[in-house]
Structure 1
């Protein structure tokens, strides 16, 4: 555990400030004039569930003694808001993002167009390259036989005029920013905490679509994503002139390893045993490619291969949740 909750409390009380470079073009968004102190209420874990009345206003901090991952954290917030009962919409927003001043209002307007719209995503740009799109709402295809139109915008795509309007997507939203209607959330249920991290937003969006709700992208809702804040950045490595972006060891465990494990779980959960084994056969080639890439480019080769295979076997046998090896 780190001291992040103490820093948040000090900030709210006006005893701690965050420095932002005056030359940063997003300074006005991440360093707004906020009068201090800011009123806040702090809850420990799920203690709010046993309270009859939740009268807290201002900022609500929920401090958990356990890191259960992306789904676990979101679910804590959902449970609090549902119990308090005064929320019509829920905004799931990564903590390494900076929000455009009109991001929320523009996204909310999309819901007015159709009462069957359950989720709205944002245009995600890089924080350090503000003219470049990281993702236009959607995320990559998880299973090869799902031929829905994802409207995925490749990494490093320059922002263009044809990405100014909103549109419906039939895939999954990028988890950095998702706005949900309360009724949609009631139908689809909470996030599946078995994933820990990776693939959970795809699972959630899949459930939303299965319940008959529509998913939209709002291009006027812009979020700036710092990227790599929790897992670090990759480095470019070369082998006989062929370049490859390689993950550091921590990012390797949290991205390809967990992503692969969780895809096995997702496939069996929604498509059954036959497709599960079909998925395994299809991904046997992918595992071999990952191992070859490790041998050619990476350090700690044996250790990486070992944990990759552990992740695969965990996925096959359905050993989910926070893995024992994640902090290794």
Structure 2
């Protein structure tokens, strides 16, 4: 491990999704960068995620993927297990075996949501590891072997760059772009994914300054998080917390960039499919929280008009007709009601 290179703490949140998590881990361990540690935060899973992760680390679970061949030679992985309450008081140095890669497994007692689940991993990294950068990575992704180097090269090139993200492709359609960052249309309350569903023909091959990068993968400078305090706002629980963090990063004076030489493939809404009606509630509620926190008064009024004339009915129609979930309108309406009632 070359300590002259920046240290990256990679945080992966797992909730009843060990199959995705293990595929993601195997792709990470094939990357061509060495100075990193992986922190898997298990958010109170009720399946056998913990045992499956242990089995994988022992080298007893062979991962199959269309994106790589399983490597039995980098196992076993040195697994260090911690409970949420242990992360501030446990002396880790005695547990670290430098002959093997270290994977830290933080076991939460319940589901703290995307925001606080990741915040627990961030706090652990800042308090216990020689962290220079923190990477939040969705467990339902597969990463390219050249993932980290281009991200760090761009982030290190300018002190004004506080956060970077990769080019994201669809897992099922590997040449189709899912996102190369986001732009915010404040008067509509729309966060538009740049390049979404486009075939990659080199049209996004330059580093680009954007409003936001996807929470699928965010690489953040340590100083940015230290200035913010808590990086992800737990008020959201699920959805929009990554966009909120991007807005706060830019308000601190930092730029956010997408680095096209860094690539990942993302499975579309693996977690959301497990909790579809929960997703309907939080997406409806959280757009109001986001807009109330950051939009100007005239932008918010225009958003309200757009929401009730078009967006609300589109969401209800999409879920009840296209996805054939006849009860989907209930959490959407409840989320709208709670969003309207939310106060700063």
Q: Is the 8 A contact 1:264 1:279 kept in 2?
A: no
How far, CA to CA, are the matches of 2:325 and 2:157 in structure 1? 53
Q: Which of residues 233, 236, 241 is equivalent to 1:200?
A: 241
Aligned to 2:43: none
How far, CA to CA, are the matches of 1:151 and 1:305 in structure 2? 25
Q: TM-score, normalised by structure 1?
A: 0.80
The 1:10–1:264 alpha-carbon spacing in structure 2 relative to 1, beyond 3 Å, is same
For residue 283 of structure 1, report the CA deviation from its aligned partner: 1.1
How far, CA to CA, are the matches of 2:325 and 2:337 in structure 1? 20
1:218 aligns with 2:250: no
1:94 aligns with 2:134: no
Question: What value does the CA root-mean-square deviation take over the aligned residues?
Answer: 2.7
Deviation per CA, 1:292-325: give whole Å up to 9, x if none: 5556555453x222221111111122299xxxxx
The 1:54–1:196 alpha-carbon spacing in structure 2 relative to 1, beyond 3 Å, is farther
The 1:97–1:290 alpha-carbon spacing in structure 2 relative to 1, beyond 3 Å, is closer
Indicate the SS of the match to 1:178.
strand
1:47 aligns with 2:72: no
Deviation per CA, 1:94-135: give whole Å up to 9, x if none: 101111011111111002220111101000011222211111
Q: Is the 8 A contact 2:188 2:303 kept in 1?
A: no
Gaps of 5+ in 2: 1-45, 97-101
Aligned to 1:308: 332
Aligned to 1:15: 60
Deviation per CA, 1:162-201: give whole Å up to 9, x if none: 32221212x1111111101111111233200111111111
Aligned to 1:182: 222
How far, CA to CA, are the matches of 1:268 and 1:2 in structure 2? 37
For residue 60 of structure 1, report the CA deviation from its aligned partner: 0.5
How far, CA to CA, are the matches of 1:259 and 1:39 in structure 2? 38
The 1:228–1:34 alpha-carbon spacing in structure 2 relative to 1, beyond 3 Å, is farther
How far, CA to CA, are the matches of 1:196 and 1:276 in structure 2? 22
Indicate the SS of the match to 1:15.
coil
Aligned to 2:30: none
Deviation per CA, 1:70-110: give whole Å up to 9, x if none: 11121111100110140000111110111101111111100
Deviation per CA, 1:12-59: give whole Å up to 9, x if none: 112322234xxx2x124xx23443221111111132113366554311
Q: TM-score, normalised by structure 2?
A: 0.77
The 1:199–1:113 alpha-carbon spacing in structure 2 relative to 1, beyond 3 Å, is same
The 1:151–1:257 alpha-carbon spacing in structure 2 relative to 1, beyond 3 Å, is closer
**What is the aligned residue count?**
292
How far, CA to CA, are the matches of 1:290 and 1:128 in structure 2? 24
